[in-house]
Amino acid sequence: MQKRTVLVIEDDAAIRQGIVDALDYAGYTAIEAPDGHKGLALAADAECDLVLLDLVLPGPDGLQILKSIRAGRPTLPVIILTARGELGDRVKGLRLGADDYVVKPFSVKELLARVDAVLRRSPERPQEIVKIPIPGGVADLARREVRLKGGGREELTDREVSLLRYLAGNPGRAISREEILTRVWRLDPRGLDTRTIDMHIVRLREKLRDDPDEPTIILTVRGVGYMFGDVK
């Protein structure tokens, strides 16, 4: 069985080394980042199965890194490491999509139990989608672009990538505008105008060359919202 790899982003050298040693003893492979800059780079590109993320870092802080992970690698599990008094940041981290948190000082036993629990749950998360074949070409979410047959190309915004990834990750299911606001926009939909979702769908269909009158990629479900179609 292949070893699982954990990315440890922690600026305190003693704590980081303790975590790496514990992971190694438990049979994991550990990758280290001592600051926010290296952590941000590794979180974007490193082959890993889970991230242990300190919130207070030199350079980009943990919340910035978490936002970046959720935009580019939404299925990658993240456990935030937080000091006892950082309740507000802990709540922000969970709202941004962290899977769990561990409060410092923590025991090795507790940390490994949290890692194991999150990794056991992670297969239930939708598969991370990188490329989506479409009738006119391919939507490459890693490169944030739509490449069309014949050489055409359309750039995708971060929000369009997140929206398309969420729809494609739930094929055949009608997804309400309120759910999109909650799960993709990370906003409380109460009292918000959901027409912004419709405008993003219009622009996304244009880039995908999806006929707005008879769409085959992003379908409209009247009275509900939208559904990702069968685009094999």
For 64, half-sphere exposure in the C-beta direction (CA atoms, 13 angstrom radius) is 13
Chain mean pLDDT for the chain: 87
**What pLDDT, on a 0 to 100 scale, did the predictor assign at position 2?**
59
Grouping H, G, I as helix, E, B as strand and the rest as coil, residue 222 is coil
pLDDT digits (tens, 9 = 90+) for 218-231: 999 998 899 998 76
Average pLDDT of span 156-166:
89
- Extended strands (E) in the chain: 5-9, 29-33, 50-54, 78-83, 100-104, 131-134, 137-140, 145-148, 153-155, 175-176, 218-221, 225-228
DSSP 76: S
Q: What is the pLDDT of residue 52?
A: 97
Average pLDDT on 45-53 reads 90
Instruction: Over range 135-156, report the average pLDDT.
Output: 90
In this predicted structure, the answer to whether residue 125 has a pLDDT above a threshold of 80 is no
CATH 3.40.50.2300 for domain 5-124:
yes
> Facing residues of 78 across strands?
51
Written as one letter, the residue type at 211 is D
What's the predicted TM-score (pTM) here? 0.56
Residue that the structure tokens 């769990």 belong to: 100
Distance of CA 83 to the CA centre of its chain: 24
User: Residue 156: CB partners within 8 Å, gap ≥ 6?
Assistant: 139, 141, 144, 145, 146, 164, 204, 207
Task: Supply the pLDDT for residue 136.
Answer: 85
**pLDDT recorded at residue 128:** 63
Q: Are strands 137-140 and 145-148 parallel, antiparallel or unpaired?
A: antiparallel
CATH fold of the domain at 131-228? Arc Repressor Mutant, subunit A (1.10.10)
Average confidence (pLDDT) over 96-118: 89
CB hemisphere CA count around 13 (13 angstroms):
0
DSSP 176-193: EHHHHHHHTS----TT--
Domains of the chain by residue range: 5-124, 131-228
End-to-end CA distance of the chain: 32
DSSP assignment string, 26-58:
TT-EEEEESSHHHHHHHHHH---SEEEEESS-S
Q: Percent of the chain, pLDDT > 90?
A: 48
> Which residue carries 């990315």 as its tokens?
7
For the cut 90, the answer to whether the pLDDT of residue 70 exceeds it is no
Greatest mean pLDDT among 17-31, 152-166, 191-205 lies in 17-31
Residue 4 has pLDDT above 60, yes or no: yes
Average pLDDT over residues 77-84: 86
